[in-house]
Amino acid sequence: MAQRHAFVTGAGSGIGRAIALELSAAGLTVTLAGRRKAPLEAVGAEIEAASGSALVVSGFDVTNESSIAHGIESAIAASGDIAVLVNCAGEAPSAPFEKTDLATWNRVLAINLTGTFLVTQAALPAIRRAGNGRIVNVASTAGLTGYGYVAAYCASKHGVVGMTRALALELARTDVTVNAVCPGFTDTPLIDKAIDTITGKTGRTPDEARASLARANPQGRLVTPQEVADAVLWLASERATAITGQAIPVAGGEVLG
């Protein structure tokens, strides 16, 4: 995988950060894309300290076509055609269905689903040129089942899974594979926000709230970002050439089949 170029959205923290570090450790040059400059630069510094190569593309808004085009063009100019695209940018606000306003609904779908569509569409010509291209979308177990109080998030991630499967079939006779990883509750800043919401609404302590989320996993724990990154690295490798159109849970057995 050395000398290949990976483009990772949402790379400044959590799962995106872990994926970027893992791909770099495997020898890829990694473009770190996201809205906030400081976290991206911190991840870039980690990569460079480990003798890797990273490019920071800050101000990257997955809901804005001009921002996407500029970021991808800059990345290609600096590091060559994108061989591996990882769509990880996402948002997961929670509210009862009847209190989910249209602005929240539209924002979540714009970032999680339409953003994945726009970035993939913009990057696909370069991925085709690179050869043995890989597209990996970070969905969620929420894209395979339902959860209360996150209707917009569930809808967006179901959409990501559906789009993954459709594009995989369109590209099946090429050398580009398209897959999704579907993490369960993962120990990231998104979970920290969920815990804050639970404690604020239920009066439970943060430890109690965290334990309640961990119980959703039959292994009785939260998934780690590294475990998701390991799955992404496999899908990005030549060892996964026959794997396409899949939505792979990384969830300790929470979702089966």
Residue numbers annotated as active site: 153
3-state secondary structure the chain: CCCCEEEEECCCCHHHHHHHHHHHHCCCEEEEECCCHHHHHHHHHHHHHCCCCEEEECCCCCCCHHHHHHHHHHHHHHHCCCCEEEECCCCCCCCCHHHCCHHHHHHHHHHHHHHHHHHHHHHHHHHHHHCCCEEEEECCHHHCCCCCCCHHHHHHHHHHHHHHHHHHHHCCCCCCEEEEEEECCECCHHHHHHHHHHHHHHCCCHHHHHHHHHCCCCCCCCECHHHHHHHHHHHHCHHHCCCCCCEEEECCCCCCC
Neighbours of 149 (CB within 10 A): 17
Instruction: Supply φ then ψ for residue 166, to 5 degrees.
Output: -65, -45
> Which tokens in the block code for residue 64?
């804005």
Instruction: Supply φ then ψ for residue 101, to 5 degrees.
Output: -80, 165
In whole angstroms, give the CA distance from residue 103 to residue 107. 6
